[in-house]
Structure 1
């Protein structure tokens, strides 16, 4: 009769097929808890032949029958009795590990750290906040202004993601399209330009060029550039009364300064509800642009960020 060593079993020797096959350990636990090959297989959705083969492999690997018949039932061998609490501990800790990996927004405490312009705030993030609150009471956003160091800060892990126009990104960055936007003309609700509102978009802009303008300045990696729609379309450049690095200023300038603003349409629509302004969409294909969510490789597999990205994409689309 083989002598059983009743000291604690070395868990490194558990049958893991090169220490990788957790399925075998789950079957072993079910086998010992059920004391039945059939019931263990049923618990794990295995056929009777598959459960029998798994049992045979375990018996061979442990050099122990694990279950012995006693009348119409089976009893655990001394080794099996010794293994069962260790299995429960090992698999319990393994299950807890995978539960941590699976992000649960309802119970998680997480601040998502973003970078964007005020356009991104108006067109994307403000509308996301109610959904974020609904999904998790302890989820929040921290938003920094997009600047020359934004990409470097993402590489250093200081930012989770950013909102971005275009596709020119350094290596190790990922992008996901949120939507395509165009431009709109914004002016005061009583502006004389509105008498030409029914004109085709280019003709309307030619009329608009005769009035003082607001132009937004957007951040680049090194400094700012003026959002010059007229030059991009080959039209005469109007006189720009105000340039500012904030898109939302355009609606105030239009309402109070009697100037015309040509700004991204989603932002203009977001502002229109609370301002005495008119918004006229400009149906010009050359002005369409993709707005994207971008993130660095270091955040690509983060379960919380995977969840956040899917939420953001679903709400934008």
Structure 2
């Protein structure tokens, strides 16, 4: 080929029809074009590829050796181009894909038990790889293409990262019931030691941020990376755990009491996030929709 830039893609469609029909008139009918138009296109193709492509033989038109060599490559090329223009429909039952997600154990406990049965029924060839990362590491992994989805709370996401709301969550305080006294107010809250949940060291979370805006701070004596473990530390102590309400396991330990925080603590948005370059990924969109359904059912 002399120059790729000079090649009209429509000529390749004509060439495909000529290869299939081995006849100019029949190729014209296949393409719904006039015979002169197809003959003219064949002339341009011969010039472009510097080969006759179709020649008359004893039994009609035949492909040249160069054309026979080109035929499978042309089929692959046009299939790829058509896939770009009209992607194949996504069939979850037939897909073979590993989705890479990052989320906390809070999200895993809430969503995985609902998501996995759906995947096994609707998309048995799908695999999940779930990891836990800090907020900053999750956003970096999305940007770098190391993961497909990050689920969590991401108030400072990059501009190229999209988000979809899964749910709004509220905080509750968990304490040993035997240590409760009348009038649990902010002063009583701050007077007690606290357990905090944080994947990343040194990051100010929503609870500490709200207290800081009041000019206050709490005495955190233990910081854990796992929501699911935190509530097991409270019974038999004077500790306070301020935690997302859906992270509490049921049935709740009868020794524990659950109360609203004694200060303004706004609900937080729990979202799923993905990179903008994945907006057209129909398989990822399908998984996002399944996650939305899982949340609706909680």
Question: What interval of TM-score do these two structures reach, taking the shorter chain for normalisation?
Answer: 0.5 to 0.7
* Residues 77-123 of structure 1: per-residue CA shift (max 9 Å, x gap): 34x4657644540134336757799687635253x444333233234
* Conserved 8 A contact 2:173-2:243: yes
2:294 pairs with 1:311? no
Q: TM-score, normalised by structure 2?
A: 0.62
Per the alignment, residue 296 of structure 2 pairs with: none
Map of 1:65-80 to 2, 5 A cutoff?
77-78=61-62, 80=63
Q: Verify: 1:246 aligned to 2:233, yes or no.
A: no
Q: Does the 8 Å CA contact 1:124/1:316 hold for their aligned counterparts?
A: no
Q: What are the equivalent positions in structure 2 for 1:84-95 lying under 5 Å apart?
A: 85-94=68-77
TM-superposed deviation, 1:130? 3.2
Structure-1-length-normalised TM-score: 0.59
* Residue from 160, 163, 166 that aligns with 1:176: 163
User: Residue deviations 1:39-73, cap 9 Å, x none?
Assistant: 513xxxxxx3x4657624423314679699xxxxx
Alpha-carbon distance in 2 for matches of 1:138, 1:39: 43
Once residues 69 and 252 of structure 2 are traced to their aligned partners in structure 1, the CA distance between those partners, rounded to angstroms, is 64
2:250 corresponds to = 272
* SS class of match (2:125): coil
Q: What is the root-mean-square deviation of aligned Cα atoms in Å?
A: 5.0
Unmatched 5+ stretches in structure 2: 47-51, 294-298
Q: Distance in 2 between matches of 1:77 and 1:193?
A: 95
How many residue pairs get aligned? The number is: 274
CA contact under 8 A between 2:194 and 2:220: conserved in structure 1? yes
Tell me the secondary structure at the aligned position of residue 169 of structure 1.
coil
1:214–1:250 CA contact under 8 A, matched in 2: no
| Equivalent pair of 2:193/2:218 in contact (CA under 8 Å) | yes
Which residue does the alignment assign to 1:291?
270
- The aligned residue for residue 141 of structure 1 is 129
Aligned-partner Cα distance in 2 for 1:178–1:88: 49
Partners of 2:135 and 2:8 in 1: CA distance:
45
